[in-house]
Amino acid sequence: MSPSPERLRRPWLSTALWFVAVVLMFAAASYQRLTGPTYELRGEFDVGGEVFEYELIRSEYSTTDAAVVIPDPGEGVRGRLVFKRYPTDDPWSATPMESVQGELVGLLPAQPAAGHLEYVIELETPEGVKRIPGEETVLIRFKDPVPAWVLVPHIFCMFFALLVGVRTGLGALFHPVGLRKLMWTTLGLMTLGGMILGPVVQKYSFGAFWTGWPLGYDLTDNKTLIMWIVWVGVALVLWKRRNPRDPWVRRSIVAAAVVMMVVYVIPHSAQGSQLDYEALEIRQSRERRP
């Protein structure tokens, strides 16, 4: 089949829309990562008039202790990690931080998958005790390792679903050529990456395939579900209207792309899986009984 006259007249427009879609995809993905609750918490503190920058860890594998590292201000300064399980009424524990090659390093004990610790650093300085990051505490979540064979395709599909979805929305607005193919590609990537591989990643990481609605409140699962549903809705509109250039089809595509962008920039892992330590202890107690 020969290219349509419109495609021949404006090939530059399709290329331009792909470029805009790539920029928007990377902008949304970067924003999501930088604002997520598992991204390192950045800040600074000062000792003796000198300012030191730090990054505090907020995610670690359940197979290893979490190393909390900050710059070592030098002689006369000692640090310790103060922590407890979250959310519990456990008493606070403390462990000293060691000076290693210009850094103060402390270890938080590994937790089961979806287990959280809250912690703060206390520095004893000639000027008094300084808390890092301040009056607030830091939350760190532990997860089980995920095999690359499922994690890499999941990430690939989710990123390219966003890319193609945004491009489909831009095409519906400015260049309605190939919308049917773009729409089905978006839905296919969302289905494979979000609704098939996503639960497998969740199972490896936290021990459950699905913790979103109606089984729970995991925001990542719910975000995926919302994005998938809106593109299923577009497919239904396209099936009913048939013509991808129909105004209602184009409006539904634009709406789905907007929803996708809005949902995607919500911080990743917000309101994520959280281990119930009390239930875990009850279960372990029962298993220990003869």
- Mean pLDDT along residues 240-255: 89
Contact 102, 71 (CB under 8 A): yes
Number of neighbouring beta carbons within 10 Å of residue 158: 22
- pLDDT above 80 (res 235): yes
pLDDT in tens, 51-67: 999 999 999 999 999 99
> What pLDDT is attached to residue 2?
41
pLDDT in tens, 266-287: 776 555 677 878 777 777 666 6
Sign of CA dihedral 142, 148, 149, 150: positive
Stronger pLDDT, 85 or 38, i.e. the higher one: 85
Rg of the chain over CA atoms, in angstroms?
24
> What pLDDT is attached to residue 269?
55
Q: Which fold has domain 41-143?
A: Immunoglobulin-like (2.60.40)
Residue 244 and residue 265: Cα distance in Å, rounded?
28
pLDDT in tens, 127-179: 899 999 988 999 999 999 999 999 999 999 999 999 999 999 999 999 888 89
The percentage of residues in the chain with a pLDDT greater than 70, rounded to a whole number, is: 92
Residue where the block lists tokens 């997520």? 36
Residue 109 and residue 95: Cα distance in Å, rounded?
10
> What pLDDT is attached to residue 211?
81
> What pLDDT is attached to residue 208?
86
Query: Three-class SS string for the chain?
Result: CCCCHHHHHCHHHHHHHHHHHHHHHHHHHHHHHHHCCCCCEEEEEEECCEEEEEEECCEEECCCCEEEEEECCCCCCEEEEEEEEECCCCCCEEEECEEECCEEEEEECCCCCCCEEEEEEEEEECCEEEEECCCCCEEEEEECCCCHHHHHHHHHHHHHHHHHHHHHHHHHHHCCCCHHHHHHHHHHHHHHHHHHHHHHHHHHHHCCCCCCCCCCCCHHHHHHHHHHHHHHHHHHHHHHHCCCCCHHHHHHHHHHHHHHHHHHCCCCCCCCCCCCHHHHHHHHHHHHCC
> What pLDDT is attached to residue 8?
42
- pLDDT above 60 (res 9): no
Closest CA to 73 of 38, 95, 47: 47
240 pLDDT tier (thresholds 50, 70, 90)? confident
Domain boundaries, the chain: 5-35+146-284, 41-143
- pLDDT above 50 (res 78): yes
> What tokens appear for 272 in the block?
């994520």
> What pLDDT is attached to residue 232?
96
Residue 123 and residue 50: Cα distance in Å, rounded?
14
